[in-house]
Amino acid sequence: MNITNAVVTGAAGGIGRALAARLRSDGARVVLADVNEAALAEAAAELGAEAVRTDVSDAGQMDALAAAAPDVDLVCLNAGIVGRDLGAPWEVSPQDWDRVFAVNVGGVVNGLRAFVPRLLSSGRPAHILITASLAGLVTFPTGGAYAASKHAVVAVAEQAALSLAGTPIGVTMLCPALVRTGMSPDGEDPADLAEQALAAVRAGAFTVVPDGWPAAITRRAHWLATGAPPEMPF
């Protein structure tokens, strides 16, 4: 597909900023959305993009974002947080469960609620890129609320893809392992991931999964299907 107008959430840093930079260098107009106002203004100035300060966990703010980008043909629902308490489920505070789910799952759901009806009524081809995580396809014991929230994001992305089959709207789900961003000092260069993600959007692929991990995803499916106990993913 030809991408001319894009919206990226979590665009002030990390993967979102890399997606926005790549889209700008490919010639698209981009609306950057982020809750961090200072970083957002700096990114918008550097990339020559429009900025709309948005907290993705707020349905009204996501609706205002969609209204500000009526011609969008790529919506990147990317904003996410790790939370404070990584650990076993009972070690995570109630506040952390609520906030991580509000941003990671609520942000994607609010984005779909705000953008999909507008895109469907426009009748134009469009695409939704959802940033989930490898942590949503395999399970690490100490993933805290983050891991569970990313499994939920995977389910929401699949629901969206199934519900939008046969419409001009495609869905791609990005499931990175570690990426060097504000979230992680180690991992892949976000610029490389952005290039891979946009190639998958253009090719109409559903998932982007890092090399070396498909076997772990298949092993998980096996014990889920057979009743064998879960194992570490590596």
Ligand X SMILES: NC(=O)c1ccc[n+]([C@@H]2O[C@H](COP(=O)([O-])OP(=O)(O)OC[C@H]3O[C@@H](n4cnc5c(N)ncnc54)[C@H](O)[C@@H]3O)[C@@H](O)[C@H]2O)c1
Which residues lie closer than 8 Å to 230 by C-beta, 6 or more apart?
139, 220, 223
Tokens of 229: 């106990």
Greatest Cα-to-Cα distance within the chain, rounded to the nearest angstrom: 53
Report how far residue 148's alpha carbon sits from residue 125's, in angstroms, rounded to the nearest whole number: 32
Residue 73 annotated as catalytic: no
- When binding is defined by CB under 6 A, the residue of 3, 7, 8, 10 that contacts ligand X is 10
Can you tell me which residue has the tokens 């998980």? Answer: 220
Backbone angles phi, psi at 29, to 5 degrees: -80, 140
> Which x/- pattern, by CB under 6 A, does the window 91-130 give for ligand X?
------------x---------------------------
Q: By CB under 6 A, is residue 187 in contact with ligand X? A: yes
Of 34 and 73, nearer to ligand X (C-beta) is: 34
Alpha helices by DSSP H, the chain? 14-25, 37-47, 59-68, 94-122, 144-164, 190-203, 214-226
Q: How many chain residues interact with ligand X (CB under 6 A)?
A: 30
Nearest distance, CB of residue 78 and ligand X, angstroms: 5
- When binding is defined by CB under 6 A, the residue of 57, 96, 100, 127 that contacts ligand X is 57
**Stretch touching ligand X by CB under 6 A, among 28-36, 90-98, 112-120, 216-224:** 28-36
- Adjacent-strand bridge partners of 173: 130, 207
Is residue 228 a contact partner of residue 222, using CB atoms and an 8 Å limit?
Answer: yes
- Out of 146, 153, 174, 194, pick the active-site residue: 146
- When binding is defined by CB under 6 A, the residue of 65, 116, 164, 179 that contacts ligand X is 179
Q: By CB under 6 A, is residue 137 in contact with ligand X? A: no
Which residues lie closer than 8 Å to 61 by C-beta, 6 or more apart?
54, 55
- When binding is defined by CB under 6 A, the residue of 80, 83, 111, 143 that contacts ligand X is 80
- When binding is defined by CB under 6 A, the residue of 59, 178, 205, 217 that contacts ligand X is 178
Backbone angles phi, psi at 166, to 5 degrees: 85, -5
- When binding is defined by CB under 6 A, the residue of 3, 6, 16, 138 that contacts ligand X is 16
Q: By CB under 6 A, is residue 183 in contact with ligand X? A: yes
Of 14 and 170, nearer to ligand X (C-beta) is: 14
Among 30, 36, 35, 82, CA closest to 56? 35
Which positions are catalytic?
A: 146
> Which residues would be at the binding site for ligand X (CB under 6 A)?
9-10, 12-16, 34-36, 39, 54-57, 78-81, 103, 131, 133, 176, 178-179, 181-184, 187
